[in-house]
Amino acid sequence: MKILLVTEYFYPQSSGGTELYVYNLAKALQQKLHQVEVLSVSDSGRKVSNYNGIVVHYIPFNQNPETIVISGEKPSDNLGFFVETVQKINPDVVHFHTLTTSISAFHAEAVKQNGYKTVLTSHIASHTCLRGTLMQNGKKVCNGKVEEQKCLSCYLQNQGVPEPLNRLLTFAVRATGFPKNLAKVVTRKKNELAKLNLNLDRLVVVSNWQKAAFTENNLSEVKTALCRQAIETCQIATTKKIEKSKLVIGFLGRVSAIKGLHVLLDALKNTAVKNFELKIAAIPVLAESTYYQQLKNRVENMPNASWTENLSNDKVRDFLSELDVLCVPSQVLETGPFVVYEALAQGVPVLGSNLGGIAELISEGKNGWLFPHQDKKYLGSLIASFITQKSVGKLLKDVEPIARPLNKLAEEMILIYNDL
Protein backbone atom coordinates (compact mmCIF):
# COMPACT_ATOMS: atom_id res chain seq x y z
CA MET A 1 0.00 0.00 0.00
CA LYS A 2 1.24 3.52 -0.74
CA ILE A 3 0.55 5.97 2.09
CA LEU A 4 1.12 9.72 1.99
CA LEU A 5 1.51 11.42 5.38
CA VAL A 6 0.78 15.16 5.19
CA THR A 7 2.13 17.57 7.80
CA GLU A 8 3.26 21.19 7.86
CA TYR A 9 5.82 20.28 10.52
CA PHE A 10 8.53 17.71 9.83
CA TYR A 11 12.22 17.08 10.35
CA PRO A 12 14.74 18.55 9.87
CA GLN A 13 12.96 21.92 9.54
CA SER A 14 11.22 21.62 12.91
CA SER A 15 11.16 19.30 15.91
CA GLY A 16 8.22 18.50 18.18
CA GLY A 17 5.61 15.95 19.15
CA THR A 18 3.78 15.91 15.80
CA GLU A 19 7.05 15.54 13.88
CA LEU A 20 8.10 12.61 16.06
CA TYR A 21 4.67 10.97 15.75
CA VAL A 22 4.70 11.22 11.94
CA TYR A 23 8.29 10.01 11.72
CA ASN A 24 7.66 7.03 14.01
CA LEU A 25 4.49 6.12 12.13
CA ALA A 26 6.30 6.32 8.79
CA LYS A 27 9.14 4.07 9.93
CA ALA A 28 6.76 1.57 11.57
CA LEU A 29 4.67 1.37 8.39
CA GLN A 30 7.82 0.88 6.32
CA GLN A 31 8.77 -2.04 8.54
CA LYS A 32 5.39 -3.54 7.64
CA LEU A 33 6.53 -3.29 3.99
CA HIS A 34 4.28 -0.39 3.01
CA GLN A 35 5.49 2.46 0.83
CA VAL A 36 5.37 5.67 2.84
CA GLU A 37 6.13 9.22 1.74
CA VAL A 38 5.67 12.58 3.46
CA LEU A 39 4.32 15.84 2.04
CA SER A 40 5.27 19.04 3.87
CA VAL A 41 5.90 22.76 3.24
CA SER A 42 9.12 24.72 2.88
CA ASP A 43 10.41 28.26 2.46
CA SER A 44 12.51 27.05 -0.45
CA GLY A 45 9.51 25.99 -2.53
CA ARG A 46 8.91 22.73 -4.37
CA LYS A 47 11.53 20.03 -3.92
CA VAL A 48 11.97 16.39 -2.99
CA SER A 49 14.43 15.19 -0.37
CA ASN A 50 15.12 12.16 1.80
CA TYR A 51 15.06 12.09 5.59
CA ASN A 52 16.41 8.89 7.14
CA GLY A 53 14.97 6.74 4.37
CA ILE A 54 11.67 8.64 4.04
CA VAL A 55 10.96 10.48 0.79
CA VAL A 56 9.73 13.99 1.65
CA HIS A 57 7.93 16.18 -0.91
CA TYR A 58 7.85 19.92 -0.23
CA ILE A 59 5.49 22.57 -1.55
CA PRO A 60 5.70 26.31 -0.74
CA PHE A 61 4.12 27.87 2.32
CA ASN A 62 1.08 30.01 1.66
CA GLN A 63 2.22 33.39 0.34
CA ASN A 64 -1.20 35.06 0.12
CA PRO A 65 -1.56 37.59 3.00
CA GLU A 66 -5.27 38.24 2.43
CA THR A 67 -7.39 38.03 5.58
CA ILE A 68 -9.84 35.63 3.96
CA VAL A 69 -6.96 33.20 3.39
CA ILE A 70 -5.38 33.55 6.83
CA SER A 71 -8.81 33.21 8.48
CA GLY A 72 -9.61 30.05 6.53
CA GLU A 73 -12.41 31.32 4.29
CA LYS A 74 -10.35 30.80 1.14
CA PRO A 75 -7.66 28.18 0.37
CA SER A 76 -3.99 29.09 0.36
CA ASP A 77 -2.20 29.82 -2.89
CA ASN A 78 -0.30 26.50 -2.78
CA LEU A 79 -3.43 24.37 -3.24
CA GLY A 80 -2.67 23.75 -6.91
CA PHE A 81 0.87 22.61 -6.11
CA PHE A 82 -0.54 20.37 -3.39
CA VAL A 83 -3.01 18.61 -5.70
CA GLU A 84 -0.38 18.21 -8.44
CA THR A 85 2.05 16.65 -5.96
CA VAL A 86 -0.55 14.23 -4.59
CA GLN A 87 -1.53 13.23 -8.13
CA LYS A 88 2.11 12.62 -9.01
CA ILE A 89 2.64 10.44 -5.91
CA ASN A 90 -0.76 8.76 -6.45
CA PRO A 91 -1.13 7.21 -2.98
CA ASP A 92 -3.83 4.84 -1.81
CA VAL A 93 -4.44 6.97 1.30
CA VAL A 94 -3.72 10.63 2.09
CA HIS A 95 -3.26 10.92 5.86
CA PHE A 96 -3.28 14.49 7.26
CA HIS A 97 -1.64 15.33 10.59
CA THR A 98 -1.91 19.13 10.66
CA LEU A 99 -4.48 21.70 9.58
CA THR A 100 -3.01 25.18 9.10
CA THR A 101 -3.27 28.01 6.59
CA SER A 102 -0.77 26.26 4.30
CA ILE A 103 -2.42 22.82 4.61
CA SER A 104 -6.08 23.20 5.53
CA ALA A 105 -9.49 21.58 5.27
CA PHE A 106 -9.56 22.88 1.67
CA HIS A 107 -6.63 20.56 0.89
CA ALA A 108 -8.52 17.60 2.32
CA GLU A 109 -11.54 18.59 0.25
CA ALA A 110 -9.45 18.85 -2.92
CA VAL A 111 -7.86 15.40 -2.64
CA LYS A 112 -11.21 13.88 -1.72
CA GLN A 113 -12.72 15.38 -4.88
CA ASN A 114 -9.85 13.82 -6.83
CA GLY A 115 -10.85 10.37 -5.60
CA TYR A 116 -8.32 9.75 -2.84
CA LYS A 117 -9.11 8.27 0.56
CA THR A 118 -8.61 10.84 3.33
CA VAL A 119 -7.65 10.45 6.98
CA LEU A 120 -6.91 13.09 9.63
CA THR A 121 -5.20 12.42 12.94
CA SER A 122 -6.03 15.25 15.34
CA HIS A 123 -3.04 16.08 17.52
CA ILE A 124 -4.27 19.36 19.05
CA ALA A 125 -7.34 20.96 20.63
CA SER A 126 -7.61 23.81 18.11
CA HIS A 127 -9.58 21.66 15.66
CA THR A 128 -12.61 22.24 17.87
CA CYS A 129 -11.47 25.30 19.85
CA LEU A 130 -10.83 28.89 18.74
CA ARG A 131 -8.23 29.51 21.43
CA GLY A 132 -6.67 26.07 20.98
CA THR A 133 -6.89 24.96 24.60
CA LEU A 134 -10.46 23.77 25.24
CA MET A 135 -10.29 25.74 28.49
CA GLN A 136 -13.30 28.06 28.66
CA ASN A 137 -12.05 31.55 29.51
CA GLY A 138 -8.76 29.87 30.37
CA LYS A 139 -10.18 28.48 33.61
CA LYS A 140 -12.40 25.43 33.23
CA VAL A 141 -12.65 22.51 30.84
CA CYS A 142 -15.04 23.11 27.94
CA ASN A 143 -17.17 20.40 26.33
CA GLY A 144 -15.78 21.45 22.96
CA LYS A 145 -19.08 22.26 21.26
CA VAL A 146 -18.66 25.27 18.97
CA GLU A 147 -21.36 27.79 19.89
CA GLU A 148 -21.70 31.44 18.86
CA GLN A 149 -22.08 33.22 22.22
CA LYS A 150 -19.86 30.97 24.31
CA CYS A 151 -16.99 30.67 21.85
CA LEU A 152 -16.86 34.31 20.74
CA SER A 153 -16.90 35.48 24.37
CA CYS A 154 -14.10 33.06 25.23
CA TYR A 155 -12.15 34.12 22.12
CA LEU A 156 -12.43 37.81 23.09
CA GLN A 157 -11.31 37.04 26.63
CA ASN A 158 -8.21 35.37 25.17
CA GLN A 159 -7.58 38.54 23.12
CA GLY A 160 -7.43 40.56 26.33
CA VAL A 161 -11.05 41.74 26.69
CA PRO A 162 -11.88 41.25 30.40
CA GLU A 163 -15.02 39.66 31.79
CA PRO A 164 -17.89 40.62 31.88
CA LEU A 165 -17.09 43.16 29.14
CA ASN A 166 -16.31 40.36 26.68
CA ARG A 167 -19.83 38.95 27.06
CA LEU A 168 -21.39 42.38 26.39
CA LEU A 169 -19.10 42.91 23.41
CA THR A 170 -20.05 39.47 22.12
CA PHE A 171 -23.74 40.40 22.11
CA ALA A 172 -22.92 43.65 20.30
CA VAL A 173 -20.76 41.98 17.65
CA ARG A 174 -23.37 39.31 16.97
CA ALA A 175 -26.19 41.87 16.81
CA THR A 176 -24.42 44.29 14.45
CA GLY A 177 -22.18 41.91 12.50
CA PHE A 178 -19.34 44.38 13.10
CA PRO A 179 -16.40 44.14 13.01
CA LYS A 180 -17.08 41.74 10.15
CA ASN A 181 -14.01 39.55 10.60
CA LEU A 182 -14.70 39.12 14.31
CA ALA A 183 -18.39 38.44 13.76
CA LYS A 184 -17.53 35.52 11.45
CA VAL A 185 -14.87 33.81 13.56
CA VAL A 186 -17.19 31.19 15.08
CA THR A 187 -18.99 30.56 11.78
CA ARG A 188 -15.65 29.88 10.12
CA LYS A 189 -14.82 27.23 12.71
CA LYS A 190 -18.23 25.61 12.20
CA ASN A 191 -17.69 25.62 8.44
CA GLU A 192 -14.28 24.01 8.83
CA LEU A 193 -15.75 21.21 10.94
CA ALA A 194 -18.56 20.69 8.44
CA LYS A 195 -15.99 20.49 5.63
CA LEU A 196 -14.01 17.90 7.55
CA ASN A 197 -17.11 15.86 8.31
CA LEU A 198 -17.95 15.80 4.63
CA ASN A 199 -14.49 15.11 3.21
CA LEU A 200 -12.77 12.84 5.73
CA ASP A 201 -13.11 9.10 5.30
CA ARG A 202 -11.74 8.62 8.79
CA LEU A 203 -10.97 10.86 11.77
CA VAL A 204 -8.35 9.50 14.16
CA VAL A 205 -8.10 10.85 17.70
CA VAL A 206 -5.41 10.03 20.26
CA SER A 207 -7.46 10.68 23.41
CA ASN A 208 -11.01 10.14 24.60
CA TRP A 209 -11.69 13.81 25.32
CA GLN A 210 -11.04 14.61 21.65
CA LYS A 211 -13.56 12.02 20.56
CA ALA A 212 -16.16 13.56 22.87
CA ALA A 213 -15.43 17.08 21.56
CA PHE A 214 -15.76 16.05 17.91
CA THR A 215 -18.98 14.18 18.70
CA GLU A 216 -20.37 17.39 20.27
CA ASN A 217 -19.80 19.01 16.87
CA ASN A 218 -21.60 16.28 14.92
CA LEU A 219 -18.51 14.60 13.51
CA SER A 220 -19.55 11.08 12.58
CA GLU A 221 -18.83 8.60 15.37
CA VAL A 222 -18.77 5.83 12.79
CA LYS A 223 -15.87 7.56 11.02
CA THR A 224 -13.98 8.34 14.26
CA ALA A 225 -11.35 5.99 15.67
CA LEU A 226 -9.32 6.18 18.88
CA CYS A 227 -5.68 5.32 18.26
CA ARG A 228 -3.35 6.48 21.03
CA GLN A 229 0.24 7.53 20.62
CA ALA A 230 2.96 4.92 20.87
CA ILE A 231 6.59 4.66 21.85
CA GLU A 232 9.28 2.04 21.91
CA THR A 233 9.28 0.48 25.38
CA CYS A 234 12.06 -0.87 27.59
CA GLN A 235 14.74 1.35 26.07
CA ILE A 236 17.75 1.43 28.36
CA ALA A 237 19.46 4.71 29.14
CA THR A 238 23.12 4.92 28.14
CA THR A 239 24.13 6.24 31.56
CA LYS A 240 23.57 4.63 34.95
CA LYS A 241 21.48 6.61 37.40
CA ILE A 242 23.37 7.97 40.39
CA GLU A 243 21.16 7.70 43.45
CA LYS A 244 20.90 10.97 45.34
CA SER A 245 19.46 11.77 48.75
CA LYS A 246 17.57 14.70 47.25
CA LEU A 247 14.35 14.30 45.27
CA VAL A 248 15.16 14.91 41.60
CA ILE A 249 12.29 16.60 39.76
CA GLY A 250 12.34 17.23 36.02
CA PHE A 251 10.51 19.19 33.34
CA LEU A 252 10.92 18.37 29.66
CA GLY A 253 9.34 20.27 26.78
CA ARG A 254 8.36 23.64 25.32
CA VAL A 255 8.64 26.60 27.66
CA SER A 256 5.24 28.05 26.90
CA ALA A 257 2.67 29.41 29.34
CA ILE A 258 0.27 26.61 28.40
CA LYS A 259 2.87 24.03 29.46
CA GLY A 260 2.81 25.46 32.99
CA LEU A 261 6.45 25.49 34.04
CA HIS A 262 5.70 28.65 36.04
CA VAL A 263 3.21 26.63 38.12
CA LEU A 264 5.93 24.14 39.05
CA LEU A 265 8.40 26.92 39.93
CA ASP A 266 5.84 28.68 42.11
CA ALA A 267 5.04 25.40 43.85
CA LEU A 268 8.71 24.73 44.55
CA LYS A 269 9.20 28.28 45.85
CA ASN A 270 6.49 27.73 48.44
CA THR A 271 7.53 24.21 49.41
CA ALA A 272 8.70 24.21 53.02
CA VAL A 273 11.09 21.30 52.53
CA LYS A 274 13.86 22.25 50.09
CA ASN A 275 15.66 18.94 49.79
CA PHE A 276 15.13 18.64 46.03
CA GLU A 277 17.02 19.07 42.78
CA LEU A 278 15.37 20.54 39.69
CA LYS A 279 16.35 19.65 36.12
CA ILE A 280 14.88 21.51 33.14
CA ALA A 281 15.24 20.37 29.52
CA ALA A 282 13.76 23.36 27.71
CA ILE A 283 12.61 23.93 24.15
CA PRO A 284 12.39 27.67 23.36
CA VAL A 285 9.23 29.11 21.83
CA LEU A 286 10.05 32.15 19.68
CA ALA A 287 6.66 33.79 20.23
CA GLU A 288 7.08 33.58 24.01
CA SER A 289 10.71 34.66 24.33
CA THR A 290 9.98 37.02 27.25
CA TYR A 291 8.26 34.26 29.23
CA TYR A 292 11.11 31.90 28.36
CA GLN A 293 13.80 34.29 29.59
CA GLN A 294 11.92 35.10 32.78
CA LEU A 295 11.65 31.44 33.72
CA LYS A 296 15.22 30.70 32.70
CA ASN A 297 16.42 33.50 34.97
CA ARG A 298 14.34 32.12 37.85
CA VAL A 299 15.80 28.63 37.45
CA GLU A 300 19.37 29.89 37.11
CA ASN A 301 18.97 31.74 40.40
CA MET A 302 17.70 28.65 42.21
CA PRO A 303 20.08 26.42 44.18
CA ASN A 304 20.36 22.83 42.95
CA ALA A 305 18.73 23.63 39.60
CA SER A 306 19.94 23.18 36.01
CA TRP A 307 18.66 24.40 32.64
CA THR A 308 19.40 22.63 29.34
CA GLU A 309 18.15 23.82 25.96
CA ASN A 310 17.10 21.84 22.88
CA LEU A 311 18.01 18.41 24.16
CA SER A 312 18.50 16.02 21.24
CA ASN A 313 16.18 13.00 20.97
CA ASP A 314 18.99 10.56 21.70
CA LYS A 315 19.68 12.34 25.01
CA VAL A 316 16.09 12.30 26.29
CA ARG A 317 16.36 8.81 27.81
CA ASP A 318 19.47 9.80 29.74
CA PHE A 319 17.76 12.95 31.03
CA LEU A 320 14.70 11.01 32.17
CA SER A 321 16.80 8.29 33.79
CA GLU A 322 18.21 10.87 36.22
CA LEU A 323 14.78 11.78 37.57
CA ASP A 324 12.70 10.54 40.49
CA VAL A 325 9.62 12.18 39.00
CA LEU A 326 8.76 14.13 35.86
CA CYS A 327 6.38 17.04 36.30
CA VAL A 328 3.94 17.80 33.46
CA PRO A 329 2.00 20.85 34.74
CA SER A 330 0.03 21.57 31.55
CA GLN A 331 -2.60 24.30 31.76
CA VAL A 332 -4.59 23.07 28.76
CA LEU A 333 -6.00 19.79 27.48
CA GLU A 334 -3.20 17.79 25.91
CA THR A 335 -3.66 14.96 23.46
CA GLY A 336 -0.76 13.15 25.14
CA PRO A 337 1.53 14.73 25.74
CA PHE A 338 4.24 12.54 24.25
CA VAL A 339 6.61 13.28 27.13
CA VAL A 340 4.29 11.28 29.44
CA TYR A 341 4.74 8.23 27.23
CA GLU A 342 8.52 8.79 27.18
CA ALA A 343 8.76 9.03 30.97
CA LEU A 344 6.61 5.98 31.64
CA ALA A 345 8.57 3.97 29.07
CA GLN A 346 11.66 4.74 31.19
CA GLY A 347 9.91 3.73 34.41
CA VAL A 348 9.79 7.34 35.64
CA PRO A 349 6.55 8.30 37.43
CA VAL A 350 4.71 11.40 36.23
CA LEU A 351 3.28 14.21 38.34
CA GLY A 352 0.76 15.80 36.00
CA SER A 353 -2.13 18.22 35.92
CA ASN A 354 -5.57 16.60 35.91
CA LEU A 355 -6.45 17.69 32.38
CA GLY A 356 -7.07 15.95 29.07
CA GLY A 357 -4.77 13.17 27.98
CA ILE A 358 -2.63 13.35 31.11
CA ALA A 359 -5.59 12.39 33.28
CA GLU A 360 -6.36 9.53 30.88
CA LEU A 361 -2.83 8.10 31.10
CA ILE A 362 -1.99 8.45 34.79
CA SER A 363 -3.26 5.96 37.38
CA GLU A 364 -2.80 7.42 40.86
CA GLY A 365 -0.11 5.62 42.83
CA LYS A 366 0.64 3.19 39.99
CA ASN A 367 2.47 5.27 37.43
CA GLY A 368 2.17 8.76 38.89
CA TRP A 369 -0.07 11.35 40.50
CA LEU A 370 -2.44 14.13 39.43
CA PHE A 371 -3.03 17.62 40.79
CA PRO A 372 -5.58 20.39 40.04
CA HIS A 373 -3.88 22.23 37.17
CA GLN A 374 -3.67 25.69 38.78
CA ASP A 375 -3.31 24.61 42.41
CA LYS A 376 0.29 25.51 43.24
CA LYS A 377 -0.25 24.89 46.95
CA TYR A 378 -1.51 21.34 46.37
CA LEU A 379 1.35 20.65 43.97
CA GLY A 380 3.84 21.93 46.53
CA SER A 381 2.38 19.69 49.23
CA LEU A 382 2.67 16.66 46.92
CA ILE A 383 6.32 17.43 46.22
CA ALA A 384 6.99 17.85 49.95
CA SER A 385 5.45 14.42 50.56
CA PHE A 386 7.64 12.90 47.83
CA ILE A 387 10.73 14.36 49.50
CA THR A 388 9.70 12.68 52.75
CA GLN A 389 8.87 9.40 50.98
CA LYS A 390 12.25 9.31 49.26
CA SER A 391 14.07 9.92 52.54
CA VAL A 392 12.57 6.70 53.93
CA GLY A 393 12.80 4.73 50.66
CA LYS A 394 9.07 4.64 49.95
CA LEU A 395 8.83 6.75 46.79
CA LEU A 396 7.06 4.98 43.93
CA LYS A 397 9.59 2.94 41.95
CA ASP A 398 7.79 0.03 40.26
CA VAL A 399 6.06 2.19 37.68
CA GLU A 400 3.52 0.52 35.43
CA PRO A 401 4.65 1.30 31.86
CA ILE A 402 2.29 1.96 29.00
CA ALA A 403 2.62 -1.09 26.76
CA ARG A 404 2.12 0.69 23.43
CA PRO A 405 4.92 -0.18 20.98
CA LEU A 406 5.16 1.46 17.57
CA ASN A 407 4.30 -1.70 15.69
CA LYS A 408 0.92 -1.69 17.49
CA LEU A 409 0.28 1.85 16.21
CA ALA A 410 1.20 0.75 12.69
CA GLU A 411 -1.09 -2.30 12.89
CA GLU A 412 -4.05 -0.17 13.98
CA MET A 413 -3.45 2.34 11.20
CA ILE A 414 -3.15 -0.39 8.60
CA LEU A 415 -6.53 -1.75 9.71
CA ILE A 416 -7.99 1.74 9.19
CA TYR A 417 -6.37 2.10 5.77
CA ASN A 418 -7.51 -1.36 4.67
CA ASP A 419 -11.04 -0.63 5.85
CA LEU A 420 -11.13 2.35 3.50
What would the CATH number be for the domain defined by 247-391? 3.40.50.2000
Q: Binning pLDDT at 50, 70 and 90, where does residue 234 land?
A: very low
Contact (CB, 8 A) for 248 and 276:
yes
CA-nearest of 390, 337, 387, 379 to 362 is 337
What pLDDT, on a 0 to 100 scale, did the predictor assign at position 243? 67
pLDDT tens for residues 124-137? Answer: 999 999 999 999 99
Q: Measure the CA–CA gap between 402 and 344, rounded to whole angstroms.
A: 6
pLDDT tens for residues 82-132? Answer: 999 999 999 999 999 999 999 999 999 999 999 999 999 999 999 999 999
pLDDT tens for residues 127-183? Answer: 999 999 999 999 999 999 999 999 999 999 999 999 889 889 999 999 999 999 899
Q: Measure the CA–CA gap between 182 and 415, rounded to whole angstroms.
A: 42
Q: What ranges do the domains of the chain cover?
A: 2-123+200-230+406-419, 247-391
Q: How far apart are the first and last CA of the chain?
A: 12
Q: Measure the CA–CA gap between 159 and 54, rounded to whole angstroms.
A: 40
Q: Binning pLDDT at 50, 70 and 90, where does residue 25 land?
A: very high
In the predicted structure, residue 235 carries a pLDDT above the cut 90 = no
What pLDDT, on a 0 to 100 scale, did the predictor assign at position 271? 87
Q: Measure the CA–CA gap between 218 and 213, rounded to whole angstroms.
A: 9
Burial of 389-408, coded b for 16+ CB within 10 Å and e otherwise, reads: ebeeeebbeebebbebbbee
Quick one: CATH architecture of 2-123+200-230+406-419? 3-Layer(aba) Sandwich (3.40)
Q: Binning pLDDT at 50, 70 and 90, where does residue 290 land?
A: very high
What pLDDT, on a 0 to 100 scale, did the predictor assign at position 15? 76
Contact (CB, 8 A) for 106 and 198:
no
Where residue 72 falls (left for φ over 0; alpha for ψ -120 to 50; beta otherwise) is left
Cα-Cα-Cα-Cα dihedral sign, residues 409, 411, 415, 417: positive
Average pLDDT over residues 241-264: 90
pLDDT tens for residues 194-205? Answer: 999 999 999 999
Average pLDDT over residues 10-29: 90
Q: Could you give the C-alpha distances from 329 to 24, 294, 361, 372, 402, in angstroms and in order?
A: 26, 17, 14, 9, 20
Phi, psi of 405 (to 5 degrees): -70, 160
pLDDT tens for residues 63-87? Answer: 999 999 999 999 999 999 999 999 9
In the predicted structure, residue 294 carries a pLDDT above the cut 90 = yes
- For the chain, give the percent of residues with pLDDT over 70: 97
Phi, psi of 47 (to 5 degrees): -165, 170
In the predicted structure, residue 231 carries a pLDDT above the cut 90 = no
Q: Is the peptide bond before 75 cis (omega within 30 degrees of 0)?
A: no
Which has the minimum average pLDDT: 44-58, 317-331, 390-404?
Answer: 390-404
Phi, psi of 218 (to 5 degrees): 70, 20
415 Cβ neighbours under 8 A, 6+ residues apart = none
Q: Is the peptide bond before 401 cis (omega within 30 degrees of 0)?
A: no
In the predicted structure, residue 354 carries a pLDDT above the cut 80 = yes
In the predicted structure, residue 37 carries a pLDDT above the cut 80 = yes
Do 2-123+200-230+406-419 and 247-391 share a fold? yes
